[in-house]
Amino acid sequence: MNSRQSRHLAFAGLFIVVTVTMLLNISIVATVSNETKQMFDYLDGLPERSNIIVSFDHEASSLPEMKPLGLVILRHLFAKDHNLIGVALLAEGTGVGYRLMQETAKEYNKEYGRDYVFLGFKPQFIAAILSMGESIGGTFPEDYLGNTTSEIELLSDIHNYDDVAAVVSLADGSLTTHWIEYGNEKYGVQVSAAVAASMLTTYDPYISSGQLKAMVGGLRGAAEYENLLGIGGSGARSMLAQSSAHLYIILLIIIGNVTYFRSRKKG
């Protein structure tokens, strides 16, 4: 078997493992980690009807991982009756963010313009974060739907970060760092994050230093958060598949190492 065939075989094996475990349709109750509990407690402890910026700082390609995270965060925030201001610092996050907010708002009978608003995308994320610190309305003269922001009820008392209790950055890359460096460091706004698993190690030091209030990450984080909220979702539904996929990968690593050492011995 050549390397190309063995690669295809490894992928095909993963495909079978994931498909079979998902067809079993078993939701696993994930044990809640300290990080996820900290994020839940932080958002849960914000005063009712706090103004919160939810920033969709991810691309469409990471949607399978970011959607479950975004949904649990939005559900929690809407359930606590907070005022949500959606923004996107990446162009691809615009449509995704609006759709997620709209879907979740419907579940909680929230009204656009009164309970939540989506301001859309602003290019040059550093300039956008800094500009919102001066004036949110000035940075976004119009919302995503083309409404003049000065005429939106929700934004009548929200001028800049002084009127915002927290920023939740939904990120698959390093954009949360910019919220920390410019939003938190310069304007003092509290930043928390829901990030792709690949970014967890990047943001860990910011949790230790207190620059990031709390963080939840990956599909596992979404499943744990669903557990804390007491709702089901794609996070919990996918946990068995994820655990099986991890076991499969560990098995491949063992097989790979054994094969490598045996071939070295022979030759």
Which residues contact another protein by CB under 8 A?
8, 11-12, 14-15, 18-19, 22-23, 25, 60-65, 67-68, 91-92, 94-95, 120-123, 126, 130, 141-142, 177, 180-182, 184-186, 196-202, 205, 208-211, 218-220, 234, 237-238, 241-242, 245-246, 249
Q: Considering the complex, what minimum distance in angstroms separates the CB of residue 81 from another protein?
A: 29
**End-to-end alpha carbon distance in the chain:** 18
Q: Considering the complex, what minimum distance in angstroms separates the CB of residue 155 from another protein?
A: 17
**Residue (of 100, 28, 36, 111) closest to 67 by Cα position:** 100
Q: Considering the complex, what minimum distance in angstroms separates the CB of residue 123 from another protein?
A: 5
Question: For residues 69 and 82, which CB has a smaller minimum distance to another protein in the complex?
Answer: 69
Which residues, in sequence order, are CB contacts of 5 under 8 Å at separation 6+?
none
CB 235 within 8 A of CB 219: yes
3-state helix, strand, coil in the chain (%, to 5): 60, 15, 25
Q: Considering the complex, what minimum distance in angstroms separates the CB of residue 134 from another protein?
A: 14
Q: Considering the complex, what minimum distance in angstroms separates the CB of residue 150 from another protein?
A: 15
Question: For residues 89 and 115, which CB has a smaller minimum distance to another protein in the complex?
Answer: 89
Question: For residues 146 and 230, which CB has a smaller minimum distance to another protein in the complex?
Answer: 146
Question: For residues 166 and 199, which CB has a smaller minimum distance to another protein in the complex?
Answer: 199
Pairing of strands 83-88, 51-57: parallel
Based on C-alpha coordinates, what's the Rg of the chain? 21
CB 206 within 8 A of CB 199: no
Burial class (CB in 10 A: 0-12, 13-18, 19+), 95: middle
Question: For residues 91 and 114, which CB has a smaller minimum distance to another protein in the complex?
Answer: 91
Question: For residues 32 and 46, which CB has a smaller minimum distance to another protein in the complex?
Answer: 32
Q: Considering the complex, what minimum distance in angstroms separates the CB of residue 174 from another protein?
A: 12
